[in-house]
Structure 1
Amino acid sequence: MKQQSQIFDVHVLRAVGCLLVVLVHVSALFYVERGNWEDVILFINQASRFGTPIFAVVSGLLLFLQVKKRGFLFNKFFKSRVNKIVIPFLFWTAFYLLYIWLIFGTSPFESGLKHFIFDVAFGKTYSHLYFISIVLQFYLVFPLLQFIKSRGAWIGLLILSALVHIYSMKFMGDFEGLFGLIAEQRAFLPKWFFFFIFGGFLAYHWETAKEWAYKIRVPLFFAVLLVFYFAAVEYEWGRYIGSNRVTNIINLPVIILFVMAISEKIASNPSLNYLASRLGSMSMGIYLIHPFVLSVLQRNLPSGVWTLSLFPVWFAVVMFLTIGMILLIKKLPFGHIILTVPSVEKKSAEKSKKEELQKSVI
């Protein structure tokens, strides 16, 4: 049951992450179409900028959980990552490059082959692909990190990763040359390293963290409200709007722990259980496809439809169309290759409770 609980928690985290990412991009589209930030839209945009770091935490969590349970085999790891991440990344990079070329007439090679390779490597071919580049960079160092298992080593690595994060965000812009160019990229691993390491830390301290989070769930609830509020305030203070802002070293653990604390409540509700599991399983597909849906809607609808009162409607439309495309791709002969959608075990909360009761009787 512990493993099932972990899997469901991961689905919940993924679901929260993808909903926040879509909220960021839908609210950004409203800004583009209306030419200014309305207070409510700005708050939604800023309060939703935790989705991508959540995905980074989940990526680290899943990798280290697998190592913890099954050990590390490099060949198996390499083959799995190629199938699940590299191939979809290359396919969707090509898809968006072709889309831009056909619709906007922009050739991907107009700046030269070296520039093209650089843009592909760092996910600059379309706005959201940078995160897949970050994940791939993390895979390069992961074989070294999987040997870290002791509590003291993990605490030290977590502190070190936080310091690396702060340094890379604050001081690496001073470098010149090729390294300076790489360091200024959004998809520069040191700017995201803390989130992956925090996921690994959780993998090795899952039960303790979950139990502790549940005990302080009420303070965590108010802490999450403050995190969302100050996300918008921070924009007004210094316009630090990046998803990997330095303050997320504090913000992300608060959000993650709160989700872990309430996941049992979500699991016990059949509707929320089903919704979280389905959204979680489709989160990568939602991340990859929703910008295409937004672009199509933006190009074909008049600017007058993007009003504040219709924001929930358009958010729902984007989610509906995106999920529809995912279900369609799954039916294609090679759909599982270009879009990884893990299966969801069909198991209701009531069935889980019955099994627990049977175990207690036995």
Structure 2
Amino acid sequence: MSNTREHISEIHMLRAIGCLFVVAVHVSGSFYYAHGEKFNEITLFINQISRFGTSMFALISGFLLFYQTRFKGFNLNRFVKSRFTKIGLPFLFWSVFYSLFTYFVLGVNPLVSGEMQFLTNFIFGNAYYHLYFMSIVFQFYLLFPLLQVFKSKMIWPVLLVCSVFINYYFVKSFNPGLFEGILGNILNQRAFLPSWIFYFIFGGFLAYFWEPLYAFSKKYKYLLGIAVLIITAVAVREYKTVGSTPSNRVTNMINIPIITLFVIGIGAQIQNVKWLNSFFTRIGTLSMAIYLVHPFVLYSFIQIAPDFVWKTSLFPFVFGAILLGSIAIVKVMQLLPLNHYILTVPGAKKQQMNHLPGKPATMRINSNLQ
């Protein structure tokens, strides 16, 4: 078994996949604009299938918090200090950075709609198009202490079912237009937590039922692989039928758990391929930092890239350039003093672990990244 209470290698894999998906969404979006605001079959497929990424990040954020408190307990002061340092300060820094970037580079005044609208946009992660996820996570942090009353495993299936209905209602049925003023503005935000709550709760469900779900994933990994192919085909039919779909579309409440269990199921096979395991570990460790910096890297690339690079056949090259450029920026920023206040990157600790017979030894890596 490739996990301990300190480290679960499959979570690095999931985090890496989520990161790669998010970058792919934005890179494919650049091809959309480069082609006269049109997708072709390939770039549309990449853009839509990659929209699994944000929901996967939400699930992982929930899992890591609940898994940690399941074994170590919950301390409110420690929780507030940890989350403020690891998420709050980076969110604040990058919101300010992208607000200034928008004003001085893009020539758009963030205050043009008034101070109250600017404040609302800032809080809900609208300083730039990707920061809304950080706002969602922060809202979940406000809810998380209240969820500590649900420590019994038996209550978690009930919470999961409730979260399905809440998430479905706020995505499909809720009409924020019925509310006016600042309340209506808040309820209309894509970063409004109830529209994402299922993924955090499923993360908690996975944390409390990790052992049986881990065993299930290993036993039925081939069936889960077939299920992933099916949901991919259904997702293609979905966007071909209804058009572009958001990252929190209701079908993702089926898609994301299946993908998650499948990745857990094939985790050992990935670990056996050293270069692939190393790649996923590196991307997983840097995933949130890559998430924060990659839009700036992408914008810079667009400004200097010649027109011919936007051929669809060169998508892998552009994607690789953005990914490597983001990693390079992160590595440079890690040389700065106090960089841990602006980048969310866990420290790595190599320690010898108990090596179970027939199982590969793994490296313990601090998994406190949300």
Q: TM-score, normalised by structure 1?
A: 0.94
Q: Deviation digits for residues 183-235 of structure 1, max 9, x if unmatched?
A: 22110000000000000000000010011011111111111112222222211
Aligned to 1:26: 27
- Alignment partner of 1:284 is 2:288: yes
Q: Residues 163, 321 of structure 1: CA spacing in aligned structure 2 closer, same or farther, 3 A cutoff?
A: same
Sort the Cα spacing of 1:2 and 1:171 in 2 relative to 1 into closer, same or farther, 3 A.
same
Shift of 1:344: 3.2
The CA distance in 2 between the partners of 1:176 and 1:156, in whole Å, is: 30
Give the superposition deviation at 1:146.
1.9
Counterparts of 2:20 and 2:169, CA distance in 1: 30
Distance 1:357 1:171 in 2: 52
Q: Work out the CA distance in 2 between the residues paired with 1:225 and 1:4.
A: 31
- What is the aligned partner in structure 2 of residue 46 from structure 1? 48
Give 1:152 deviation, angstroms: 2.6
User: Could you report, residue by residue, the CA deviation over 1:24-46 in whole angstroms, capped at 9, with x for unpaired residues?
Assistant: 11111101110211101111111
**What displacement does 1:275 show?**
1.3
Cα offset, 1:180, TM superposition: 2.9
Counterparts of 1:170 and 1:21, CA distance in 2: 23
CA distance in 1, matches of 2:347, 2:274: 18
Mean Cα deviation higher: 322-331 or 5-14: 5-14
Deviation per CA, 1:97-126: give whole Å up to 9, x if none: 111111122222222211110000111110
Kindly provide the amino acid, as one letter, of the partner of residue 185 in structure 1. Answer: Q
Note the alpha carbon deviations across 1:274-302, whole angstroms, 9 max, x for none: 21111111000111111111111112223
Question: Where does structure 2 lack aligned partners over 5 or more consecutive residues?
Answer: 360-370
- In the alignment, the residues of structure 2 paired with residue 61 and residue 201 of structure 1 have an alpha-carbon distance, to the nearest angstrom, of 8
Counterpart CA distance in 1 for 2:249 and 2:26 is 17
Structure 2 SS opposite 1:282: helix
Tell me the CA shift for residue 269 of structure 1: 2.5
Aligned partner (choices 111, 114, 117) of residue 112 of structure 1: 114
Q: Using the TM superposition, give the Cα deviation of residue 303 of structure 1 relative to its aligned residue in structure 2, in angstroms.
A: 3.4
2:169 counterpart of 1:167: yes
Contact 2:95–2:128 under 8 Å retained in 1: yes
Q: What are the residue-to-residue correspondences of 1:2-17 with 2, within 5 Å?
A: 2-3=3-4, 6-17=7-18
Query: Which amino acid is 2:29 matched to?
Result: A
Measured in 2, the distance between the counterparts of 1:279 and 1:6 equals 16
Deviation (angstroms), 1:20? 0.6
For the 8 Å contact 2:48–2:244, the answer to whether it is kept is no
- Following the alignment from structure 1 to structure 2, what is the Cα–Cα distance between the partners of residues 144 and 119? 26
- Deviating more after overlay: 173-182 vs 301-310: 173-182
Correspondence 1:274 to 2:278: yes
CA distance in 1, matches of 2:254, 2:306: 41
Q: Distance in 2 between matches of 1:226 and 1:6?
A: 31
1:13–1:259: 8 Å Cα contact kept in structure 2? Answer: yes
SS of equivalent to 2:190: coil
Amino acid at match of 2:199: F
Residue identity matched to 1:274: S
* Deviation for aligned residue 1:66: 1.2
Q: Could you tell me which of 64, 89, 92 is aligned with 1:90?
A: 92
Matched, 1:202 2:203: no
Is the 8 Å Cα contact of residues 34 and 303 (structure 1) preserved in structure 2?
Answer: no
The residue type paired with residue 356 of structure 1 is: L
1:313 corresponding residue in structure 2: 317
What is the CA-CA distance between 1:346 and the residue it aligns to? 4.2
Structure 1: tracts of 5 or more residues without a match: none
Give the count of matched residue pairs. Answer: 355
Partner of 2:368: none
Partner of 1:127 in structure 2?
129
* 1:304 aligned onto 2:308: yes
Mapped partners of 2:273, 2:349: distance in 1: 16
For 1:152 and 1:357, locate their aligned partners in 2 and report how far apart those are by CA, in whole Å: 33
Secondary structure of 2:8 counterpart: helix
- Hey, what's the Cα distance between the residues in 2 that align with 1:21 and 1:346? 29
* Distance of 1:221 and 1:6 partners within structure 2: 24
In the aligned structure 1, how far is the partner of 2:6 from the partner of 2:337? Answer: 32
State the partner residue of 2:236: 232
Check the 8 A contact 1:24/1:48 in 2, yes or no.
yes
- CA contact 1:172–1:184 (8 Å) conserved in 2: no
Following the alignment from structure 2 to structure 1, what is the Cα–Cα distance between the partners of residues 110 and 337? Answer: 28
3-state SS of paired residue (1:200) = helix
- For residue 355 of structure 2, give the secondary structure of its aligned residue in structure 1: helix
SS of the aligned residue for 2:271 comes to: helix
Q: 1:55 aligns with which of 51, 54, 57?
A: 57
Alpha carbons 1:93, 1:120 under 8 Å: kept = yes
Q: Give the aligned partner of residue 144 of structure 1.
A: 146
One-letter identity of the residue aligned with 1:21 = V
